[in-house]
Each structure stands twice: as C-alpha cells, then as structure tokens.
Amino acid sequence: MKQLTRRSFNGLATKGLLGSAFIANMPLANAFTTNKNSKKLGVALVGLGSYSTYQLAPSLLDTEHCYLAGIVTGTKEKESVWQEKYNIPKENIYNYENFDTIGDNDSIDVIYVVLPNSMHAEFCIRAAKAGKHVICEKPMAVSVAECDAIINACNEHKVKLSVGYRMQSDPYTHEVKKYVREKTFGDVLFVSSDAGYVSKGNPDQWRLNKKLSGGGALMNMGVYAIQTSIYGTGQNPISVSAQEFSTRPDYFMDTDETITAQFKFENGAVAHMMTSHNANGNRLKCHCSKGWFELDPAHSYGPISGRTSNGDVLKFPHKRQQALQMDDFAKHILLDSKNLAPGEMGKRDMIIVEAIYKSIREGGQEQLLSLGDLGIVV
C-alpha cells in the first residue's frame, strides 16, 4: 500500500499557532491505581494539527477514564510546547520515524491517529502491531480495502479499535436513537440531514488535496450526514443514488464541493442528505407517522439543540463530545462496555461513500447496498 511519507506531509501541512488556554494539571504519577477497573488509560495523539490542539488535547483534561500521556509529531518545535503545556514526559514524545518503539512504553495504552485520511491505515496498523488500542479519526480510511486492513491488524494483534465518531457519544444522539427505537413519534418515514460549511482557507490545505484526503466534502462532513441518516431511521440503507455540484471549480480543483444523496431503507423509509465545502448545513430532521423531531444544530461541537412536534425542547448538560467519546472507548477497554463506534461502523460508512461516488460517476444511477453482514445498524 503506497503512502505519502511523513516528510512530504509535513511539507504540505500549514504551520499555525498551537496556542490553547488549557494547562494540564494532572500529575502523571497519579494517573494509575492498583485497581484495574479504576485505571486511567494513557492516550497518545498522533498528529498535532488543529483538531488535536483545540479539541482532543483540551478534552483529555475533562476525561475520567483516560488522559493525555504522549504525542507523536513530525514538527520538532511542537515537542517542547506540548511537553510544557501538558506535562508530558520526554520519553513519551515520539516522531514518525521512531513511532514503532512506542510498543515498549507501558504508560501508553491507546493511540489516537489524527493524521490526514490517506495516512490512517498505515499508522493504525503500526499502532496495532505495537500492541496498542486504536482510535482512528473519521473517516476511517480512503477505501474499504484499507478499512479491512485496519480491522484485520487490530484483530490479529488483539487490540481494540474505534473510529472517532464523537456524535455517537453525544446525549442528543442517544435521544434520537431512543425516539426511533421506541417509536415515540410513530414510524420514521423521511429523514433529512445536512452537514457542511463554506471553505475559504488556503486552497493548498490537505483537505482539498485528494492524495491526502481521499475526497472532498463527502469524506469530511458527509460521514456525519450518512451517520444521521442511519440512526435517524434505525436501519442501514439498502440503496443509494447521488449527485455532485460544483460552483467554484477554480477552488475545488481536486475534490468534491457539494454532494446530495438519497437512501432507501428496508422498512420503506427514505432519506436525503446534503454535504458541502461551500454551503452551511448542520441539521437533522426526522418526519414520522405521528409527528417529527429535529436537531439544529446537529453535528457541531456543541451545544446541540433539539425540538419535537409536541413542543418539547431538548436540553442536555453540555460536555465536550471528544471527552465523552474517549471515555466511552476507555470504558469499553477497561469494563468491556459496548464499543459505540467499532471499526465495522467505519467500514460500513466507507462502503456507502464508495457507492455514492460510483453513483455520481454513473450519472446518479441507484446503487444497491449489502450491509447486513457487518452486524452494525446504528
């Protein structure tokens, strides 16, 4: 499997401020106890871009079952900044060349791969070979074949695998699933989901480079709309048809700008999704036989907001979704609780992504989906 080198990625990456007002106060010496079930798992972040800097690292200050134990970066200047900010021991700081020696470090239990999409498979597989549990940021990979390679590596080396679907741990998502499961508003008939934003940044950013991203809006925001379409109906789709639109071809030269897709489900429900790098979208609405419910905003970092046809306004205490997500995975490892976002879920979504791209290439032709053998519904 040919991969871009870490050096070529670092050359493409845009350097920015690493600043965050959060300071780590947790002494590493107190991170463990003698009771396995109360152990806090050490997490190492691989890739210190904006998501790690402004979301994951601060969230690891709010987690109950895991903590920031190490970092992996190809930028030397970041090492001292993160070491001082988060009290990271020197021996827990790695680069992409010595990464494989992380297997000898007992203070690191989980590796969170937060690199461009095309590098997910390589580093997830290397993490599994090092004997570490793996969180792979979404989308899981750039192909179904790569998803299979990650899943197989984790199974072979007997480590747990999760995909960075933070919304699976959000209480609003849990409420939507409850409405669907209990038929609070009757049968779900139609679901509409939008996930997008207007990209105005550097056209050389990695998300607009197909070699690094594997695709455009669909690979970035589209997986949110795919997920909400599925848990908004409580079923996997049986077919999909899709369309692509481009209004700024001079900017989106290499990746998709806006995609719409329609799903059919075995119970007769249908869904429509929109994802874009050139239009704002952040909503889920489920139309049912006895009313409706919606989240708006539905996919952002929060706070989320929800409403129903009976006049209820959904309000849950806000907590960082990433903290909830990482704690849920830590509990899965420590207590054998349910894995809310297993690798099979990431593979399922990539099967759907590939079918959407195929439909577009074939002029919107409907693509049949066979997802039942994955054992994943929502």
- Please identify which of the residues 78, 138, 285, 331 carries the catalytic annotation: 138
Nearest to 143 by CA among 325, 350, 322, 314: 350
Nearest to 128 by CA among 145, 149, 106, 146: 149
Q: What CA–CA distance (Å, rounded) separates 141 from 145?
A: 9
User: 42 - beta bridge partners?
Assistant: 67
Task: Judge contact between 259 and 356, C-beta under 8 A.
Answer: yes
- Other beta carbons within 10 Å of 298: 26
Name the strand (E) or helix (H) holding 155.
helix 144-156
Name the strand (E) or helix (H) holding 171.
helix 171-182
User: What are the C-alpha distances in Å from 92 to residues 46, 64, 87, 142, 280?
Assistant: 12, 21, 10, 29, 40
User: Which position has the token pair 């998709």?
Assistant: 256
DSSP SS3 for 71? strand
Helix pair 343-361, 144-156: axis angle to 10 deg: 170
Active site residue 94: no
- Please identify which of the residues 67, 94, 224, 231 carries the catalytic annotation: 224
Q: What CA–CA distance (Å, rounded) separates 63 from 114?
A: 18
Nearest to 205 by CA among 282, 276, 117: 117
Q: What CA–CA distance (Å, rounded) separates 199 from 218?
A: 14
Question: CB neighbours of 84 closer than 8 A, spacing ≥ 6?
Answer: none
Task: Judge contact between 347 and 162, C-beta under 8 A.
Answer: no
Q: What CA–CA distance (Å, rounded) separates 335 from 340?
A: 13
Active site residue 224: yes
Name the strand (E) or helix (H) holding 198.
strand 188-198
The number of residues in the chain equals 378
- The encoded tokens of residue 378 equal 């929502």
Instruction: Please list the active-site residues.
Output: 138, 224
